[in-house]
Amino acid sequence: MNEILEEVTQMIQNGLNSVFDRPDVLIFNILAFIVLVFFVKRFLWKYVTSFVDARQKALSEELDRAAEERALAQSLQEKSQKDYELMKEETRVLKEKLTVEAYKQQEELIVSAKKEAKRRLEQAEKDIEFEIIQANEQIKQSIKEIAFAAAEKIVKREIDENVHQDIIDEIVRDSEVR
């Protein structure tokens, strides 16, 4: 490997030394270069510069378009972020509203249930009171019947029925007072 590297180094040095060893080759190369530059400048330079200008213009347009697209993407990202934040806030407000509404409905149900329980309790009290009154009436009626039967046996046709009813009512009133 070192041998190859030494050979390549020797060839490069020989090539560089050959330019100084033969000045006619150097002069020929300089003249050829000047002719080439003149030929390119005279016939091809316009095409080369127009191609380079067109390429530069196309690159500038692409860079401008990329900058516009980047700005558009940035604005879309900002808009979507704002929309996200807005939706997040709307969701939070809606959640709070629904929570308040649920508590309100819960309170309404509790109040309604309490009213219904109170109404049923009052109705039960009224029913009990009515039944007590009916029971008292039945007891009074039973007392009247018993008193009537007793009086009937005692009096046995001496008193007519109206007088007899007055006596029973009096007995019942007296029993109520006690």
What pTM was estimated for this model as a whole?
A: 0.38
Mean pLDDT to the nearest integer, 71-92: 93
The pLDDT, as a whole number, for residue 153 is: 65
Residue among 152, 138, 147, 153 at smallest CA distance from 170? 147
In whole angstroms, give the CA distance from residue 145 to residue 174.
16
Select the highest-mean-pLDDT range: 2-11, 20-29, 69-78, 168-177.
69-78
Across residues 67-78, what is the average pLDDT? 94
Residue 104 CA to its chain's centroid (Å): 21
Two tokens, residue 63: 């860079």
Tens digits of residue pLDDT in 83-115: 999 999 999 999 999 999 999 999 999 999 999
More confident residue, 157 or 111: 111
pLDDT at 127 over 60: yes
- In 3D space, the residue among 24, 116, 85 whose CA is nearest the CA of residue 77 turns out to be 85
